Amino acid sequence: MKKYNFYAGPSILPQYTLDKTIEGIKDFAGSGLSVLEISHRSKEFIACMNDTIALVRELLEVPAGYHVIFLGGGASLQFAMVPMNMMNKKSAYLNTGEWASKALKEAKLYGEVVEVASSKDKNFNFIPKNYTVPEDSDYFHVTTNNTIYGTELKKDPVVRIPLVADMSSDIFSRPVDVSKYSIIYAGAQKNLAPAGVTMIILKEEVLGKVTRPIPTMLDYRTHIKAESMFNTPPVFAVFAAQQTLRWLKDLGGVKAIQKKNIEKARLLYDEIDRNKLFVPTIKDPEDRSLMNICFVMSDGYKELEKPFAEFAKSKGMVGIEGHRSVGGFRASTYNALPIESVKALVDVMKEFEKKS
């Protein structure tokens, strides 16, 4: 039976990436060695790292004055590294979900944190608007896409202080004006590569301004100077990221994939809105994520949640169960998910409606 992978992360990868990484496991860059055993100091891997960084710069149109680095530790490590490197006394955070809350919690270890707005009291089912960011803050932090609750900030915020964004689950899914940000970070396991590597884009001029001593390994400048090679980087994950970025470039880049993502999301949201059995968890279309589409059973059909989950599984749908804190269902429609998978899920929803 064909499987349709809707997992929220680690998640679906392009078939191109899978094929090329299999080749690299057998023979990396004609070296006669596997990418799993190659030295990160080898000329072959240094070329891979340099090309991966160049692809990031090209696809996101990263301007001069910014660095691109790859680190381990996931986005969760960045929750601490950002305030450690950026915060002298005060920072501001927009709280739109569990990961934003965790980032905010870490920042409190380094000074005053202003929560400029939060949607927690509504179970994070909307993106707060019309908030004020204190301009005496060292930076303002946002989480652009919220995988658990299915909301997304689709426009670059405009603020008068350094802007930091966790883009783990929507990086490369839409154009981004990098010049509006001081730091962008993204765990790779949603739209880029297998788990194990995090991409960070940094504006050089915002670093080196805190007064605290920073441990060598946690200082962004260490990794910029060493070109992501201060310690052994996640070699395999970087190699896989290179393949995904090549795939994305061949498709036409970020603008091209955005059109595909909008088409996929519209198809599924339209069915959720039409089908009497389901309702979206996010009511405002402006706030609905294009990457993580969340829905629950309608009133009067709650008892059909488990039967629908079992029916969908029998049809090859994998990973559509909602996060335990929300329940219901979540279809993650990342870049690599083909529209055929969305069409298959829509067909399953229609079929279940007819038989219920």
Query: Residue 158: in which H helix or E strand, if any?
Result: none
Q: Which one-letter amino acid corresponds to residue 175? A: P
**Is the C-alpha dihedral spanning 190, 236, 225, 253 positive or negative?**
negative
**Cβ(349)–Cβ(275) below 8 Å:** yes
Place of tokens 């995090």: 198
Please say if 99 is a catalytic residue.
Answer: yes
Q: Which one-letter amino acid corresponds to residue 216? A: T
Please say if 138 is a catalytic residue.
Answer: no
| CA separation for the pair 56, 249 (Å, rounded) | 10
| CA separation for the pair 46, 40 (Å, rounded) | 7
> Which residue in the list 20, 138, 166, 260 is annotated as catalytic?
166
> Which residue in the list 20, 138, 170, 190 is annotated as catalytic?
190
**Is the C-alpha dihedral spanning 216, 195, 329, 128 positive or negative?**
positive
Integer distance in angstroms from the first to the last C-alpha of the chain? 24
* CA angle at 82 for the pair 78 and 84, rounded to the nearest 5°: 115
Distance from CA of residue 106 to its chain's centroid?
19
Place of tokens 């149109």: 61
Q: Which one-letter amino acid corresponds to residue 110? A: Y
> Which residue in the list 20, 99, 219, 247 is annotated as catalytic?
99
The residues, any chain, with a CB within 8 Å of residue 207's CB and separated by 6 or more, are: 85, 220, 221, 224
Q: Tell me 292's DSSP state.
A: E
Helix (H/G/I), strand (E/B), else coil: 293: strand
Please say if 51 is a catalytic residue.
Answer: no
**Cβ(198)–Cβ(74) below 8 Å:** yes
The strand pairing partners of 151, in sequence order, are 146, 288
| CA separation for the pair 356, 352 (Å, rounded) | 6
| CA separation for the pair 239, 113 (Å, rounded) | 37
Residues known to be catalytic: 99, 166, 190
